[in-house]
């Protein structure tokens, strides 16, 4: 998994800063302007309580919470944090919604490949699914999704290693849903682990 170090920089960035391929809307901070060295914004205790109160599904079908590995703080090159967890799975494995929400954006970028941004209920958080092989046919922006609904399939699109398909899953607090690429990252690992032993 180390070998992908550096390969996922843009995937993580596309959530935090929108630096991946496409043209972020005007007003986008320059790469490095947010989240670079130094103080990083944090989510409030109230936000964390809300997140912990949700029921979470592991966003890859057939993967138990116990099988997850916390790769949130691993570096992805140039000292940049991963700010996401990777869930390895065979190509074509269903990617499912980790929680309810609404499809905010379907976005293809050089780093993240085929990605889905889902706005959580209440509009405060976004769930980011990257490196998909394919979208579920019919998936469209604005659609409501329920926890467990299929969004697509696991792949290695973007800068994922072709021989190591996985889902790159990230969670961020959004301060403005119109700025879907720009959020404060939160480690989803403890949340996805909440279901461990419960099934």
Q: Which residues bind Zn ion (CB under 5 A)?
A: 8, 84, 86, 168
The least distance separating Zn ion from the CB of residue 132, rounded to whole angstroms, comes to 13
| Contact (CB, 8 A) for 51 and 194 | no
The least distance separating Zn ion from the CB of residue 95, rounded to whole angstroms, comes to 13
Ramachandran category for residue 43: left, alpha or beta (phi over 0 → left; psi -120 to 50 → alpha): beta
**Other beta carbons within 10 Å of 128:** 29
Among residues 6 and 148, whose Cβ is nearest to Zn ion? Answer: 6
The least distance separating Zn ion from the CB of residue 82, rounded to whole angstroms, comes to 6
Query: 3-state class of 195 per DSSP?
Result: helix
Among residues 67 and 100, whose Cβ is nearest to Zn ion? Answer: 67
The least distance separating Zn ion from the CB of residue 172, rounded to whole angstroms, comes to 14
User: Number of H helices and number of E strands within the chain?
Assistant: 3, 9
Among residues 80 and 168, whose Cβ is nearest to Zn ion? Answer: 168
Could you say which DSSP state residue 30 is in? Answer: P
Query: Angle at the Cα of 123 (from 193 to 86), degrees rounded to 5?
Result: 35
- Please give the backbone phi and psi of residue 193, each rounded to the nearest 5 degrees, phi first: -75, -15
Structure tokens at 148: 């467990």
**Residue 161: alpha-carbon gap to chain centroid:** 17
The least distance separating Zn ion from the CB of residue 169, rounded to whole angstroms, comes to 8
Structure tokens at 178: 């119109």
The least distance separating Zn ion from the CB of residue 178, rounded to whole angstroms, comes to 25
**Other beta carbons within 10 Å of 66:** 10
Among residues 8 and 99, whose Cβ is nearest to Zn ion? Answer: 8
Among residues 65 and 165, whose Cβ is nearest to Zn ion? Answer: 165
Residue number, nearest CB to Zn ion:
168
Among residues 138 and 162, whose Cβ is nearest to Zn ion? Answer: 162
């Amino acid at each position: 998994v180390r070998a992908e170090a550096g390969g996922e920089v843009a995937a993580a960035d596309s959530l935090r800063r929108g630096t991946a391929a496409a043209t972020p809307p005007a007003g986008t901070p320059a790469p490095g302007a947010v989240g670079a060295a130094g103080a990083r914004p944090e989510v409030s205790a109230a936000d964390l309580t809300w997140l912990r109160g949700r029921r979470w599904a592991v966003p890859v079908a057939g993967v138990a919470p116990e099988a997850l590995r916390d790769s949130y703080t691993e570096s992805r090159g140039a000292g940049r944090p991963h700010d996401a967890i990777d869930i390895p799975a065979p190509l074509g494995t269903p990617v499912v919604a980790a929680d309810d929400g609404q499809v905010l954006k379907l976005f293809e970028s050089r780093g993240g490949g085929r990605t889905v941004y889902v706005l959580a209920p209440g509009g405060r958080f976004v769930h980011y699914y990257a490196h998909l092989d394919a979208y579920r046919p019919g998936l469209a922006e604005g659609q409501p999704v329920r926890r467990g609904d299929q969004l697509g399939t696991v792949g290695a699109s973007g800068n994922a290693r072709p021989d190591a398909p996985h889902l790159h899953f990230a969670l961020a607090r959004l301060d403005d849903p119109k700025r879907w690429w720009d959020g404060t990252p939160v480690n989803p690992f403890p949340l996805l682990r909440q279901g461990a032993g419960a099934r």
